[in-house]
Amino acid sequence: MVLIVIVYVCTANVNRSPMAAALTSHLAAGRGLELTVGSASTLLRPGHRATPAALAVLRARGIDAETHRSRTLTPEIVAGADLVLTMERVHLRVAALMTPGAFDKTFTLKEFLRRALRCDARYPSEPLDLYLQRISIGRDPVELLTTNEADEVADPQGGPHDGFVATCDELALLCEGVVELLFGHPQLG
């Protein structure tokens, strides 16, 4: 199997994107998938730990993300990724403009799932770039210039612990969908 690199992007890289990366890495490890998962920020604030609330909700799921440190999204990170999944459209716009061709592999997390569900899962031998072309048929970059709550994962920053739990629960479902659509169901037997 070919290694795939996924990068999740949010504003500060201390809540949503590190949670998504940790959840996806956990799912991939449980299935023995060759998947590298990272995360990054659209802000210039590298080196910060994930928030205590984000770490706590992950720990409650048996996932340790203590080693996470925020990093700023760069053209090199985008170029090195096979798939960039963002928490909001504004993050998508930042990432898509960083390097030529980045738009073709950059989606909001919810947009990716919505499009992929319409086209079904990636075929077992289908290269990721061809799958992304297939799910992108009819995709209009102009539509992504506006804000649309349907494409946004809520930022729990500054809210109660329940908000972090809700965001982590949502991300767990979304990340499971990403793994299912990219790699199919786990092998049985």
Residue 67 lies in a domain: yes
pTM for the model: 0.95
**pLDDT (tens digit per residue) in 45-87:** 899 999 999 999 999 999 999 999 999 999 999 999 999 999 9
Does the residue 63 lie in any domain? Answer: yes
Q: Is residue 28 part of a domain?
A: yes
Answer left, alpha or beta for residue 141, where phi above 0 means left and psi between -120 and 50 means alpha: alpha
Instruction: Give the pLDDT of residue 2.
Output: 55
Note whether residue 32 is domain-resident: yes
What is the domain count for the chain? 1
Query: Which domain range does residue 49 map to?
Result: 4-183
Note whether residue 188 is domain-resident.
no
Query: Does residue 173 belong to any structural domain of this protein?
Result: yes
66 is a domain residue: yes
In a domain, 189, yes or no: no
Which CATH number is 38's domain given? 3.40.50.2300
Tens of pLDDT, residue by residue over 159-186, are 999 999 999 999 999 999 999 999 985 4
Helix axes 161-183, 109-119, angle to 10 degrees: 40
107-163 residue pLDDT tens: 999 999 999 999 989 998 899 999 999 999 999 988 888 888 889 999 999 999 999
Residue 3's pLDDT band (cuts 50, 70, 90): confident
> How far is residue 61's CA from residue 55's CA, in Å, rounded to a whole number?
10
The answer to whether residue 188 scores a pLDDT higher than 60 is no
